[in-house]
Structure 1
Amino acid sequence: MNMIEMQDITKKFGSFTALDGVNLSVGEGEIHGFIGPNGAGKTTTIRVLMGILKATSGTATIFGKDVWKDSVEIHKRIAYVPGDVNLWSNLTGGEVIDLFLRLRGDKNAKYPKDLIEQFDFDPRKKCRTYSKGNRQKVALVAAFASDADLYIFDEPTSGLDPLMESVFKEHVQKVTREGKSILLSSHILSEVEELCNQVSIIRQGKIIETGTLTELRHLTRTSITVTTKEPLLGLAQLPYVFDISTKGDGTNFSVDTEHLGEAIAYLNGKDILDLKCLPPSLEELFMSHYAEGGH
Structure 2
Amino acid sequence: MTEVVKIQGLQKKFGKTLALSDVTFSVNAGEVVGFIGPNGAGKSTTIRTLLGIINRNAGDVQIFGKDVWKESLDIHKKISYVPGDVALWGSLTGGEIIDLFMKLHGHGDKQKRDELIRRFELDPKKKSKSYSKGNRQKVGLIAALAVESELYIFDEPTSGLDPLMEAIFQEEVEKLKAAGKAVLLSSHILSEVERLADRVVIIRKGKIVETGTLSELRHLTRATITATTQQPIQPLKTLPGVHDFVELSEHQATFSVDNQEINNLLVQATALGVVSFESVPPTLEDLFMRHYESV
Q: CA deviation at 1:236?
A: 2.5
Q: Determine if the alignment matches structure 1 residue 219 to structure 2 residue 220.
A: yes
Q: Which residue matches 2:196? A: 195
Please state whether the residue corresponding to 1:9 is helix, strand or coil.
strand
Q: CA separation in 2, counterparts of 1:143 and 1:136?
A: 11
Map of 2:283 onto structure 1 = 281
**Letter aligned with residue 223 of structure 1:** T
Cα pair 2:223 2:279 within 8 Å, conserved: yes
Cα contact 2:240–2:261 (8 A) shared by 1? no
Report the identity percentage. 54
Structure 2 CA distance for aligned equivalents of residues 153 and 290 of structure 1 = 23
Structure 1 residue 71: deviation in Å? 0.5
Distance 1:269 1:216, change over 3 A: same
- For structure 1, the 5+ residue unaligned runs are none
- C-alpha displacement of 1:13: 0.3
* Structure 2: segments with no counterpart, 5+ residues: none
Query: What pairs with 1:108-119 in structure 2 (closer than 5 Å)?
Result: 108-110=109-111, 112-119=113-120
- CA gap 1:107/1:114 in 2 versus in 1, 3 angstroms: closer
Aligned partner of 2:133: which letter? K
Shift of 1:234: 3.0
Instruction: Summarize the Cα distance change of 1:250–1:232 in structure 2 as closer, same or farther, 3 Å threshold.
Output: closer
1:50 lines up with 2:71 in the alignment: no
Q: Which runs of structure 2 are paired with 1:57-96 in the superposition (5 Å)?
A: 57-96=58-97
Displacement after TM superposition at 1:166 (Å) = 0.3
Q: Distance in 1 between matches of 2:62 and 2:221?
A: 33
**Structure 1 CA distance for aligned equivalents of residues 212 and 264 of structure 2:** 25
The aligned counterpart of 1:250 is 252
Question: CA-atom RMSD, angstroms?
Answer: 1.2
Aligned counterpart, 1:176:
177
How far apart, in 2, do the equivalents of 1:61 and 1:52 lie? 14
CA distance in 2, matches of 1:100, 1:110: 15
Q: For residues 226-263 of structure 1, give each alpha carbon's deviation from its aligned partner in whole angstroms, at most 9, with x where no partner exists.
A: 11011123323223111111335521001112222122
- TM score, norm. by length of structure 1: 0.96
Question: Match for residue 38 of structure 1?
Answer: 39
CA contact (8 A) 1:85 1:136 kept: yes
Where does residue 23 of structure 1 map in the other structure?
Answer: 24
Q: Which moved more, 1:232-241 or 1:19-28?
A: 232-241
Runs of at least 4 residues off by over 6 Å: none
What SS does the aligned partner of 2:12 have?
strand
Please give the secondary structure, in 1, of the residue aligned with 2:174.
helix
Matched residues in 2 for 1:75 and 1:151: separation? Answer: 11
Instruction: Give the AA of the match of 1:83.
Output: G
**Contact conserved, 1:28 with 1:179, CA < 8 A, in 2?**
yes
**CA distance in structure 2 between the partners assigned to 1:94 and 1:107 by the alignment:** 13
CA distance in 2, matches of 1:259, 1:286: 23
1:11 corresponds to: 12
- Distance in 2 (CA, whole Å) between partners of 1:225 and 1:111 is 47
**Cα deviation code 1:57-77 (max 9, x no counterpart):** 111000000000110110000
Q: Is the 8 A contact 1:229 1:272 kept in 2?
A: yes
3-state DSSP class of the match of 1:106? coil
Q: Structure 1 108/188 Cα, relative in aligned 2: closer, same or farther at 3 Å? A: closer
Equivalent pair of 1:98/1:111 in contact (CA under 8 Å): no
* Aligned residue identity for 1:33: G
Number of corresponding residues: 293
Letter aligned with residue 255 of structure 1: V
Q: Which residue of 1 aligns with 2:142?
A: 141
* TM-score for the superposition, normalised by structure 2: 0.96
Q: Deviations for 1:85-126, whole angstroms, at most 9, x for unmatched residues?
A: 100010000000000000011165546111001001101011
Tell whether the 8 Å contact from 1:109 to 1:147 is kept in structure 2 after alignment.
no
8 Å Cα contact 2:78-2:148 kept in structure 1: yes
